[in-house]
């Protein structure tokens, strides 16, 4: 059974709704590595070292310290944090309600997502709040304290509960001025725009996450399994870097054709790079290109030396 990671109440006006928060997402464990000593392959241990006593100490002997001056610290305990004079320490304070369409443009930078579970005594008030938000198409903007920090959040109806999305504060969002972006938009020809629209239309469909998988993880596991079994790993050739400008129109035309063919076959839409590769492969066959094995054999042969006079 899922375990709640925060317990408190939703507060708006004089209405209090006791709730619990549950993490809405669960990152699938990737391929993790341990740090080893290169010479003997023994696993390295990370330990807490006290330079003053010159010894390793247990984590239980550590406390939180704030450096208010160079090498000067004040200790902050859990009791100090509990006594903070803020309503948001134990409650999700709704600050205002905004149109959902307007909120979407201001809440794109999401930190985390949490499901909300109302306590039995608060289910009616919870359902009432959820239904009004749905009917009026509103989003609740709120604040609460999570992991020793006050966070900004957006509250929205989600199926038979509500979803709380924690957001970055405005001063945490980097300015676009830091990027080297063009001051003027490049000129786009009508034919290029039309062809791009056709490509996008050919690749448009219903999004089903089940159609996608972590191919990098699968490939990495194949390499690991090959090493365990003592087999030789297959080295994937790196794509050649482009040395000339790509003909945008030709690339778009090839992509539209490939996307249409894939859709007719019920395949997943392809990218511009995949479409270009298919086009080059077809051109190679028409030109009578030799099979890959023959090309590899020729490349392995030493080049003939010219006779000198």
In DSSP notation, 261-290 reads HHHHHTPPP--HHHHHHHHHHHHHHHTTPP
Q: Provide the whole-model pTM.
A: 0.64
Ordered structural domains, the chain, with CATH: 6-25+83-172 (2.40.290.10), 187-204+246-286 (no CATH)
Q: What is the pLDDT of residue 309?
A: 37
Per-residue pLDDT of the chain (309 residues; tens, 9 = 90+): 678 989 999 998 888 999 999 999 887 767 788 888 888 889 998 889 999 898 999 989 999 998 989 999 999 888 887 777 677 888 999 999 999 998 888 888 999 999 999 999 999 999 999 999 999 999 999 999 988 789 999 999 999 999 999 999 999 998 888 888 888 888 888 988 998 888 888 888 888 888 888 888 888 888 888 888 887 666 666 666 554 546 778 887 888 888 877 777 765 555 555 555 665 666 665 555 554 445 545 544 444 444 443
Q: What is the pLDDT of residue 121?
A: 92
- Which string of b and e fits 75-92 if b means at least 16 CB within 10 Å? eeeeeeeeeeeeebeebb
Q: What is the pLDDT of residue 21?
A: 94
Task: Determine the 3-state secondary structure of 165 from DSSP.
Answer: strand
Q: What is the pLDDT of residue 235?
A: 66
Residue 22 tokens read as 């549950």
């Amino acid at each position: 059974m899922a375990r709640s990671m925060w317990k408190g109440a939703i507060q708006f006006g004089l209405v209090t709704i006791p709730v619990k928060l549950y993490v809405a997402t669960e990152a699938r464990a990737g391929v993790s590595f341990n740090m080893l000593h290169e010479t003997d392959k023994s696993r390295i241990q990370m330990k807490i070292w006290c330079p003053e006593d010159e010894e390793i100490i247990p984590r239980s002997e550590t406390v939180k310290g704030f450096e208010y001056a160079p090498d000067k610290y004040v200790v902050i305990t859990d009791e100090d944090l509990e006594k903070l004079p803020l309503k948001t320490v134990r409650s999700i304070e709704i600050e205002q309600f905004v149109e959902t369409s307007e909120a979407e443009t201001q809440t794109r930078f999401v930190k985390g997502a949490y499901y909300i579970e109302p306590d039995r005594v608060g289910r009616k008030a919870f359902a009432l709040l959820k239904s009004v938000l749905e009917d009026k198409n509103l989003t609740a903007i709120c604040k609460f304290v999570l992991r020793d920090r006050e966070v900004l959040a957006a509250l929205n109806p989600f199926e038979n509960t509500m979803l709380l999305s924690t957001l970055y504060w405005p001063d945490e969002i980097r300015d676009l001025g830091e990027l080297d972006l063009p001051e003027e938009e490049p000129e786009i020809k009508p034919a290029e725009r039309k062809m791009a629209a056709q490509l996008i239309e050919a690749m448009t469909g219903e999004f089903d996450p089940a159609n996608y998988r972590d191919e990098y993880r699968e490939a990495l596991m194949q390499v690991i399994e090959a090493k365990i079994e003592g087999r030789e790993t297959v080295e994937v050739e790196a794509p050649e870097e482009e040395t000339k400008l790509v003909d945008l129109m030709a690339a778009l035309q090839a992509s539209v054709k490939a996307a249409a063919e894939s859709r007719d076959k019920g395949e997943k839409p392809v990218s511009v790079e995949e479409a270009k590769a298919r086009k080059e492969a077809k051109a190679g066959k028409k030109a009578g290109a030799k099979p890959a094995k023959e090309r590899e054999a020729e490349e392995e042969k030493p080049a003939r030396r010219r006779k000198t006079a």
